[in-house]
Amino acid sequence: MKTIQFREAIAEAMSEEMRRDESIYLMGEEVAEYNGAYKASKGMLDEFGPRRVIDTPISELGFAGVGVGSAMNGNRPIIEFMTFNFALVGIDQIINNAAKIRQMSGGQFDCPIVFRGPTASAGQLAATHSQAFESWYANCPGLKVVVPSNPKDAKGLLKSAIRDNDPVIFMESEQMYGDKGEVPEGEYTIPLGVAEIKREGKDVTIVSFGKIIKEAYKAAEELEKEGIECEIIDLRTVKPMDTEAILRSVKKTNRLVILEEAWPFGNVATEITYQVQQKAFDYLDAPIAKINTADTPAPYSPVLLEEWLPNHEDVIRAVKKVMYK
């Protein structure tokens, strides 16, 4: 194993796959000359040249469409959005073309494309740059949605996403690019659609994904001091969702808390809640608790932002509530 930053894991995954397959290229704003807005493509222009690491104008709709068209013609593009907030400008290409072309062409065209970039909040970036759209994309048939929380998972999942023959939404975080973690030295991939138990426990299941899962880890450490053992599941892939992993854990702990950085109405936690009450209702010893942001646009004020975001204290309160403590 070696210890690298999240951004280095992303760069390694892309570079290894581009060495393996010449049909793969990276395109987006500042990915080439500037080495990526978050330095997640550092050194790639030098290695692969300007035909495969391509800087674009600020034109998300345009370069998303170029990517979709080239994927239909045998390439495997990686399209980087500086943040998924900006993907709203190009969302027509993602939803109406990438996600639907296989069905609408009667199977004549695949669309092996990865749309990647950071999601959710990243400090005081205000309302229009602090949004989490995982549930939006997961709601659309034809898209796969991946949200890793650490360097090892990011590298293995991104390699699988690049090799996938369907469009994949790969969502990172500006606040995770500097995170360090152990990554295997050799070749490896992590299959899409498989969750992982990050911490074993017997008293309550906590399901989360992405950077906000760190708050679950903090809560679990505190709760352990009080004799409460939390089992933490990292979804890793939002769609397809590993519902069976969640159900197995809930059948063991009989309690469920879901932590997600997203607005509360109709999100990923809502779907998990439905699946569990539908398939494991008799195993539940308490109502399911879900923890989300406030139901408002993200505030700019640091005091209000801290209140808006879920944190480990929210998790502790939710766990104690489902345990009737």
The catalytic residues are 60, 129
How many other CB atoms are found less than 10 A from the CB of residue 64?
27
Q: Judge whether 293 and 262 are in contact, CB under 8 Å.
A: yes
Quote the tokens at residue 181: 């973690």
User: Nearest Cα to 236, choosing from 145, 164, 131?
Assistant: 145
3-state secondary structure of 2: strand
Pairwise CA distance, residues 17 & 164, whole Å? 12
Burial of 229 (C-beta count, 10 Å sphere; 0-12/13-18/19+) = middle
Q: Judge whether 177 and 40 are in contact, CB under 8 Å.
A: yes
What is the DSSP secondary-structure string of 182-219? EE-SS-----TT--EEEE--SSEEEEE-GGGHHHHHHH
Q: Which residues pair with 54 in a beta bridge?
A: 27
Q: Quick one: residue 126, left, alpha or beta (phi over 0 = left, psi -120 to 50 = alpha)?
A: left
DSSP state at residue 210: G
Quote the tokens at residue 158: 């991104």
